[in-house]
Amino acid sequence: MEILRSAANPWGQNILVGVAWDLLWAAAFVGVVFVVIHALYVAIMAPPRAPKQMEPAPVGIPDRVVRHSASSRAFHWLMAASMLTLLVTAFFPLIGIQFAWVTIHWIAGIVLTLLIVYHIVVAMKKWRTVWIGSAQITEAKLAVGRFFRRERAKADRSAKYPIDQRAYHNAATLVSLGAIVTGILMMFRIDTWFWASNPYFLADSTWGLVFVLHGLCGVALITLVIAHIYFAVRPEKRWMTRSMIKGWITKEEYLDYYDPAQWPLDGEPVRVASHDSGDSEAVASA
């Protein structure tokens, strides 16, 4: 399998021109293999979840807990649309589906760039909730140990964003930023609304590195998108997909999957009802 493509420039120098398109099929293959192996593992091999220890229920939990605001949902679906548009316009012509894709591709790239900038600005205040830290690394080590010992999965409840979601978010963010930076550089080679093409903006060898990095980010996104769609449609994860559509999860889902101390509603810790107290002060939303 070829990994990189090269060609001779007008001066007879052999330079990189991008990744080999075998990687396109390799990325799709990896994504499909992951889906199949994970589905078989869950269906056949995965030990049952350990029973959750009964604890006093916190007071003041509404029947519907807001997990995603309207702006967060709009960002997610606009980003999904721009990402899929970029993948279609980048790779469909390579498999023989020809259309005028260049303008659509760079416009979708600008939309994705603006969305990522918006996301970074908005998420800057709560970056600790989505990036992996030392606590999550320790949690991952313990989970891997339980996996290889075939122990039943613990029923520990997590913060609003558990480690698997944080890991996916981190990977998607880094790959998307790589695609955006290299994509903006590649826009200098074409006529856009902002400037005329200038293929001499970078040296040939540097352009080759830009093409390679952009292609690697693109094929990585194929695998990430396949995995994301797979988990979104799994039966045990559909409640999370519903929350990205409607914005809320049920009270039972909140108490089953999340630790109120790690994800307090309205920014305040949810108090546990005492057996001799009639206090039922409510917290309305996330």
**Which pLDDT tens digits describe the chain residue by residue (286 residues)?**
678 887 777 777 788 878 888 898 999 999 999 999 999 988 887 666 655 655 666 777 889 999 999 999 999 999 999 999 999 999 998 888 888 899 999 999 999 999 988 888 877 666 666 777 777 677 777 767 766 666 655 556 778 888 888 889 889 989 999 999 999 999 999 988 888 999 888 988 899 999 999 999 999 999 999 999 999 999 989 999 999 999 999 999 998 888 888 888 864 444 444 333 333 333 334 4
Can you list the domains of the chain with their CATH numbers?
Answer: 70-234 (1.20.950.20)
- Cβ neighbours of 50 (radius 10 Å): 13
The residues, any chain, with a CB within 8 Å of residue 81's CB and separated by 6 or more, are none
Burial 26-40 (b: 16+ CB within 10 A, else e): bbbebbeeebeeeee
Rounded CA separation 213/204 (Å): 14
What residue type is 60 in one-letter code? G
Contact 233, 241 (CB under 8 A): yes
Contact 54, 195 (CB under 8 A): no
The CA-based angle 38-40-41, given to 5 degrees, is 65
